[in-house]
């Protein structure tokens, strides 16, 4: 389970722009602005 979480975290950091676009499209700009990339825990 920990390995799966680390895999997801790795994917998110490598595909940040895709994730940002998805959040912005689905949840709106204010929510996308709240994603804290400096503290991914």
pTM, full prediction? 0.64
- Alpha helices of the chain — where are they, by DSSP H? 2-14, 16-27, 29-33
pLDDT score, position 36: 85
pLDDT in tens, 8-38: 889 988 999 998 999 999 999 999 999 888 8
Residue 24's φ and ψ, nearest 5 degrees, are -60, -45
Tell me the C-alpha distance between 41 and 9, whole Å. 9
pLDDT score, position 1: 81
pLDDT score, position 40: 62
pLDDT score, position 13: 86
């Amino acid at each position: 389970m920990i390995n799966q979480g680390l895999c997801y975290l790795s994917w998110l950091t490598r595909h940040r722009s895709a994730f940002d676009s998805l959040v912005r499209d689905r949840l709106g700009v204010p929510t996308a602005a709240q994603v804290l990339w400096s503290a991914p825990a």
